[in-house]
Amino acid sequence: MVERGRGAGWLVHLGLPVAVVPASLLADNQQPRLADALYASSRYSGVELNFNKGLAGAPPDAIAGAKDTAMNPSVLTAFALAIAANAQGPAYPGVPGLEPSVAEARKAAERIERCMSQLRGTGCPAGILCEREQLLRKQMAAIVLGREPLTPS
């Protein structure tokens, strides 16, 4: 993962693929499944669990209020959001020695996708950023290939 505040010029591979991790995976009979999935994910890429993104265990009034908010409803029963990312950098097209490596980006994107597929296999739904992730993927590809980035419609 790229440290916050130190990302200038970094090329993030594959956007920010995420998976919502439901609290049901914390049940005694599901914990081995979650542990196995996290271990399997780690064979391909690092994965972060962001515990401040789910509402599992929140007071009922907080969950009721969140139901009226525009967000992925799976967050209501999630205890975490799993995020995997990779980057290279600094990468500046046209600057000798600092050009982005398309081959490296493709390999990293494949590892990240394999990482996240391990978690999604446990029933973790795709996360909140899916539409944004798709746009980011297209924008990154355009930049790496020297084309004009897409603009959101």
**52 DSSP 8-state letter:** T
Claim: this prediction has a pTM higher than 0.75: no
Pick from 75, 68, 69, 67: which is nearest to 125 by CA?
A: 75
The phi, psi pair for 115, rounded to 5°, reads: -55, -50
CB 2 within 8 A of CB 12: yes
CB 99 within 8 A of CB 92: yes
pLDDT for 128 equals 46
- SS3 category, 99: coil
| Low-confidence spans in the chain with pLDDT less than 50 | 1-5, 128-129
Q: Residue 71 and residue 90: Cα distance in Å, rounded? A: 33
Side chain identity at 145, as an amino acid letter? L
Side chain identity at 49, as an amino acid letter? L
Residue bearing tokens 């994965």: 47
Tokens of 50: 């962001």
Torsion of CA 68, 72, 77, 80, to 10 degrees: -130
How many other β-carbons are positioned within 10 Å of the β-carbon of residue 95?
Answer: 11
